[in-house]
Structure 1
Amino acid sequence: MPTSHVAFLGIGLMGAPMTRNLLDAGFPMTLWNRTASKCEPFRGQADIAASPAKAVADADIVITMLENGDVVEDVLIRQGAMDALKSGAVLVDMSSVQPSLARRHGSLATERGAGYLDAPVSGGTRGAEAGTLSIMAGGAATDLEQAAPALSALGKVTHIGPVGAGQLAKLANQAIVGVTIGAVSEALLLAARGGADPEAVREALMGGFAGSRILEQHGQRMIDRDFAPGAPARIQLKDLRMILDEARAEGLTLPLAQQAHNGYLSLVANGHADVDHSGLLLELEHVNGARLGGGRSGAGGKD
C-alpha cells in the first residue's frame, strides 16, 4: 500500500480522472481546486483543503494540473503553495507551461529544500481516464525516482532531461498535434468536397503511411461532428503561442506552427474556444463555406 501522501491541485477535465487513478492505487490524498465543488465527488476518499498552501503542507508529493502558466504562478507563488512545501517533498507540475517558468519554479523549490519535476502529459482525457498518459519529465533522476510510484499510476514516464526539458517535449508534441489536426481537417474536407466518402477515406488512410492516432481519433470526431472538449481549442491555442514564443527566443522560424496558431486564433475568435481542438475543422469549413457533414451521408456535402 503506498505511503506517500499526495496533494493534487487542479481537479478539472484531466485532474479528476488522474485523482481517481491515484486513489484507486491506494495513495492517501489531499485535494484543492479553485472551484471547490469539483472536489466533492472525492469527499470521504480524500481530504479537501481550503487553500493550496494547506493542501501541500503535509504532502510528500505535490502534483499540479492547472490550465496555464499564469494559473500555476498564482497557485504556487501568490497563494503560497511554494512556501508551504515541506523539505524533502517533490513538486510535480504536470501543467503545460513555459520552459522558463518551469526552470524558475524548480529553482524556488530547491531553495525550499524540495525537489521539482516539470512533467506535462499527452493523451488527453481518454489517457487520463485509462491511466495511459505519456508523461514527459524534466528534472533530477532522484526526484523522479521519488515521484515514480505516483506517476506510474497515471501513465508511462519518460525522463527527458533537466528541469524545463519536459515542457520542451510537450511543446514538440503540441506542434505535431496542432499541425496534424489541421492536415487531417484539410484532407477530409478535400475528399468530401470532391465526392468521396470521408469515412471510407479515413479508413483507407489508416492503413497507409498517413495513419496516425490523430487521424484515427480526431478524424472520427470530425466525421461524427463530436467536438465535446477533451482538450479545448483555447488550450491548443495557448500551447501554440508558447511554441512560437520559444521558437523566437531560440532564433527559429516555424511556419507550420505559425499557420496552425493562426487557424486556432480564428477558431477561438469565432466563438469556439471550448470546442475540442479537433474542432479546427469548423474554422476550415467557415473559411471555405463548405461542410464535411456527418457519417456517410456527409460525403461531398456543402452548406
Structure 2
Amino acid sequence: MPHISFLGIGLMGAPMVARLLDAGFSLTLWNRTPDKTQPFAGRVRIAATPAQAAAEADVLITMLENGAVVDQVLYQSGAITGLRPGALVIDMSSIEPATARRHGARVAQLGGGYLDAPVSGGTRGAEAGTLSIMAGGSDADFDRAAPIFPAFGKATHIGPVGSGQLAKLANQAIVGITIGAVSEALLLAAKGGARPDKVREALLGGFAGSKILEQHGERMLARDFEPGAPARIQHKDLRMILDEARAEGLTLPLSQRVFEEYRALLASGHGDVDHSGLLLELERLNGVRLSCGPVAADATDGEQENG
C-alpha cells in the first residue's frame, strides 16, 4: 500500500486521517498548528515541515483552507520540489480551478501525477466515509487513487485537471442558495403561525425534500450552529463561484445575492458558525428569532447567539 502524507488536520482532515488509518494505510502528517496532529501520535509519523511530508510521500493529500494556503504551503515555499518522481498529489481542498490547473502543470514538470479532488458531505460525511469526491485529472491518475478514495466515500471522475473544482463550485452554489431558501421558508412558515418543525417534516416527503432541508433545517430548529462547514468557507466558495462566472462571461444573480447575505453574516461576527447559520442574518434583518414554537421578537435587538 502506498505511504500517504496528509497535510491539513482540521475539521475535515482529522476524520479523513482516521478513516485512512482504519483502512490500514501508513501516514505522515503535517499541520500548521502541530497540536492538531497529537491525537494520532504513535500511529503516524509527524513531519516538521511540508517539504519533509512531500519527500516521504508516495501519495500526497492536501486538505487545506483555500487555494492561497495550498499555494504558499507547497508551491511558493518550494516544498513541492522534494516530491518523489512518480508520486501522486491529490488536492482535496476547495480551490480556484485556475490554481488547480497551475498546480497540476507544476507537478507534471516534476514527474508526478495530480488530481484536484474536492469533496462534499461536511464533517458528518468525513466521519462516516460517505463523502462525494469530485476528481479532475487523467484516467491513469484517477485509477491510481482508486484504492484510497473508498476510505473517504464515493469518487466520480469529472474530467481533466480543474474539473473537480468546477464541480465543487456547482455544488457550493446549490448548497449556499438552498440554505438561504430553507432559512426563508422556515421563518416564513413560523411567522405565519405554523410549526416550523412540522413544516420541515412535511416538506421532507415532497418535491422540496433535500439533504439541506434534512440536516441544516434540523440545525436551524435546534439552533445548533457549531461548525461542520464554517460560514466563512461558504462565503469564500461563493466568491470563487462569482469570480469564475465573471471569467466565463456569466451573470449568476442568485449566487450574487446569497454571497452578499453571507458577507453580512461575517460582518456581524459570525464567520465561524456553521454555514446553516445564515439563518442568523435573516433573523437580524427581520428582528425575530426562529424556534419550534411561535416566532418571537428578538429581545437582543438583532444580536444573535451562535447556539
Q: Could you say which residue in structure 1 is the equivalent of 2:196?
A: 198
Q: Could you say which residue in structure 1 is the equivalent of 2:272?
A: 274
Q: Could you say which residue in structure 2 is the equivalent of 1:132?
A: 130
Q: Could you say which residue in structure 2 is the equivalent of 1:54?
A: 52
Q: Could you say which residue in structure 1 is the equivalent of 2:4?
A: 6
In the TM superposition, what whole-angstrom CA distance separates every residue of 1:37-82 from its partner, at most 9, and x where no partner exists? 1000111100000000101212111000000011000111133331
In the TM superposition, what whole-angstrom CA distance separates every residue of 1:81-108 from its partner, at most 9, and x where no partner exists? 3111111111000000000000000000
Query: Following TM superposition, by how much is the alpha carbon of 1:6 offset from its aligned partner in structure 2, in angstroms?
Result: 0.3
Query: Following TM superposition, by how much is the alpha carbon of 1:290 offset from its aligned partner in structure 2, in angstroms?
Result: 1.2
In the TM superposition, what whole-angstrom CA distance separates every residue of 1:201-249 from its partner, at most 9, and x where no partner exists? 0000000000000000000100000000000000000000000000000
Letter in 1 for 2:200: R
In the TM superposition, what whole-angstrom CA distance separates every residue of 1:95-136 from its partner, at most 9, and x where no partner exists? 000000000000000000000000000000000000110000
Matches within 5 A, 1:31-70: 31-70=29-68
In the TM superposition, what whole-angstrom CA distance separates every residue of 1:6-25 from its partner, at most 9, and x where no partner exists? 00000000000000000110
Alignment of 1:302 with 2:300, yes or no, is no
In the TM superposition, what whole-angstrom CA distance separates every residue of 1:162-207 from its partner, at most 9, and x where no partner exists? 0000000000000000000000000000011111100000000000
Give TM-score scaled by structure 1 length: 0.97
Secondary structure, in 3 states, of the residue corresponding to 1:149?
A: coil
- Structure 1 residue runs of 4 or more that deviate by more than 6 Å after TM superposition: none
Letter in 2 for 1:300: V
Q: Could you say which residue in structure 2 is the equivalent of 1:90?
A: 88
Letter in 1 for 2:245: A
Q: Could you say which residue in structure 2 is the equivalent of 1:216?
A: 214
Distance in 1, matches of 2:79 and 2:28, equals 13
Letter in 2 for 1:299: P
Q: Which runs of 5+ in 1 are unaligned?
A: none
Q: Could you say which residue in structure 2 is the equivalent of 1:22?
A: 20
Query: Following TM superposition, by how much is the alpha carbon of 1:278 offset from its aligned partner in structure 2, in angstroms?
Result: 0.1
Distance in 2, matches of 1:81 and 1:206, equals 48
Distance in 2, matches of 1:41 and 1:202, equals 38
Distance in 2, matches of 1:256 and 1:116, equals 33
Give TM-score scaled by structure 2 length: 0.96
Matches within 5 A, 1:104-143: 104-143=102-141
Q: Which runs of 5+ in 2 are unaligned?
A: 299-307
Aligned-residue Cα RMSD (Å) equals 0.7
